[in-house]
C-alpha cells in the first residue's frame, strides 16, 4: 500500500497547518501512549518522570513530532530518508513494531482533539496511511 498523490497532498497540507503546535501534539500523544498503554513505559525506564506533564515527556514529544514533520518532507522516499531513525528504532532500541501502531493511534486522537474541523475523514485516512508507512520504514 503506497501513498497516492491525493494522500500526499492531504498529508502535506494538514501538517503544514498544524506544524506550529508540534510540541503540544507530540508531547500529548507520547503522554497518552505511556499512560493508556503502560507497557510502553519499558522503553523509557531511564527517565525519572513518566507522567503526562513531565519535562522529559514534553521534550521527547517534540523530538517525535519533529521526526514526523521531517518524514512529511521525505514522503517520496521514506525508507531512504528515515534510514538512521530506522537503525535507531529497529536495531538499537529494538522497538516492538506493535508499539508504532499505539503511538500512531494516540497521534490521531490528539490531532482529532486539537483540530476537529481540519481532521476530516479524508484527512484521517491519508494521515493514517502515511503514519503506517513511516512506522514500516522505522521498524525494518
Partner 1 sequence: MVVWTDQERAYIQDIFSKLNYEDAGPKALQRALIVYPWTQRYFASFGNLYNAEAIMSNPKVAAHGVVVLHGLDRAMKNMDDIKNTYAELSVLHSEKLHVDPDNFRLLADCLTIVIASTMGTSFTPEVQAAWQKFLAVVVSALRR
Residues that bind partner 1 (CB under 8 A): 31-32, 35-36, 52, 105, 108-110, 112-114, 116, 119, 121-122, 124-125, 128
* Residues 72, 31: Cα–Cα separation, whole Å: 22
Nearer to partner 1, 35 or 43 (CB): 35
Q: Least distance to partner 1 from the beta carbon of 125, Å?
A: 4
CA-derived radius of gyration, the chain: 14
Q: Least distance to partner 1 from the beta carbon of 112, Å?
A: 4
Q: Least distance to partner 1 from the beta carbon of 65, Å?
A: 17
Nearer to partner 1, 9 or 125 (CB): 125
Q: Least distance to partner 1 from the beta carbon of 87, Å?
A: 30
Nearer to partner 1, 86 or 119 (CB): 119
Nearer to partner 1, 52 or 81 (CB): 52
Concatenated DSSP letters of the chain? ----HHHHHHHHHHHHHHGGGHHHHHHHHHHHHHHHSGGGGGGGTT-S--STT-HHHHHHHHHHHHHHHHHHHTGGGHHHHTHHHHIIIIIIS---THHHHHHHHHHHHHHHHH-TTT--HHHHHHHHHHHHHHHHHHH-
Amino acid at each position: 500500500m503506497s501513498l497516492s498523490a491525493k494522500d500526499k497532498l492531504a498529508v502535506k497540507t494538514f501538517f503544514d497547518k498544524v506544524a506550529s503546535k508540534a510540541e503540544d501534539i507530540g508531547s500529548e500523544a507520547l503522554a497518552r501512549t505511556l499512560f493508556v498503554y503502560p507497557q510502553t513505559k519499558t522503553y523509557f525506564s531511564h527517565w525519572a518522570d513518566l507522567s503526562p506533564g513531565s519535562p522529559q515527556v514534553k521534550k521527547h514529544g517534540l523530538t517525535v513530532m519533529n521526526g514526523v514533520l521531517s518524514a512529511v518532507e521525505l514522503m517520496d522516499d521514506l525508507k531512504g530518508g528515515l534510514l538512521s531513525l530506522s537503525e535507531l528504532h529497529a536495531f538499537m532500541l529494538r522497538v516492538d513494531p506493535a508499539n508504532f501502531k499505539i503511538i500512531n493511534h494516540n497521534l490521531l486522537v490528539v490531532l482529532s482533539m486539537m483540530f476537529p474541523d481540519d481532521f476530516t475523514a479524508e484527512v484521517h485516512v491519508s494521515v493514517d496511511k502515511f503514519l503506517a508507512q513511516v512506522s514500516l520504514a522505522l521498524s525494518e
